[in-house]
Structure 1
């Protein structure tokens, strides 16, 4: 379970670092696979696979934004926020310095996935090469290290 006092610290540090936009991302896992969403080809970073993620609205808490974004993008309901996995910075399509905070989450059920903003999805095996950016790959490595070993 995430210590929610950490969430305030993350926001405070981002502001001090000059970050203009906050984004939250979720590692949603089922067995030994993680949910990846494919961005539309004509969108910013079109065609890449990414974690369910999205912008934090003004005045919105990170945990609320995480639950909202997972629901909006996948139709899945976050039951628990298990672990903070880390962050990475990038420049958004609008030119803003952006920081994505990523968390491991548990969802009530993993099906059906209902896409509203992406072209497709896949359950990518964690034991192989996952088709994501280097920044997301690093977060998935952290997730692999935190998972209990398979029986």
Structure 2
């Protein structure tokens, strides 16, 4: 499979579309599958959206390329190293804790090894079947069950 980032028009197209929609912040998320299950992380009780199960994800820093942010955030949140970005699965918009209109860009990836998981920002992780997802947002559920 070819990474969507191999197309030189891909990232600029995402930026252009976001500017048109008034997006001020980006988050990148990784769908990591292992044996038909996907990795989900649970937000801690004292965090924004406590207890929500989510994909490994994080903010794109100013001037950072989407692919670099995806690699960095996945490693920071899970300890896993992305081997390949295999597909762009879609996006959704939401308002962040700070009030910024945020767009999450979600990518399917492969990792060098699926274990061990090292959590730094979440309080739990699970490998979930796409048909039996725990408390994820409707937007994430829609992306994972297409």
TM-score (norm 1): 0.90
Distance 1:12 1:129 in 2: 33
- 1:83 partner SS: strand
The equivalent residue for 1:122 is 126
Shift of 1:2: 2.6
- 1:138 partner SS: helix
Shift of 1:7: 1.9
Structure 2 gap ranges (5+): none
The root-mean-square deviation of aligned C-alpha atoms, in Å, is 1.0
Shift of 1:126: 2.0
The equivalent residue for 1:67 is 71
- 1:68 partner SS: helix
Structure 1 gap ranges (5+): 143-151
Query: What is the number of residues matched between the two proteins?
Result: 142
Shift of 1:131: 2.9
**Any residues of structure 2 matched to 1:1-151 within 5 Å, and which?**
1-4=2-5, 5-142=9-146
What are the Cα deviations for residues 119-147 of structure 1, in whole angstroms up to 9, with x where unaligned?
000001123344311000011023xxxxx
The equivalent residue for 1:146 is none
Q: Indicate conservation of the 8 Å contact 1:32/1:127, yes or no.
A: no
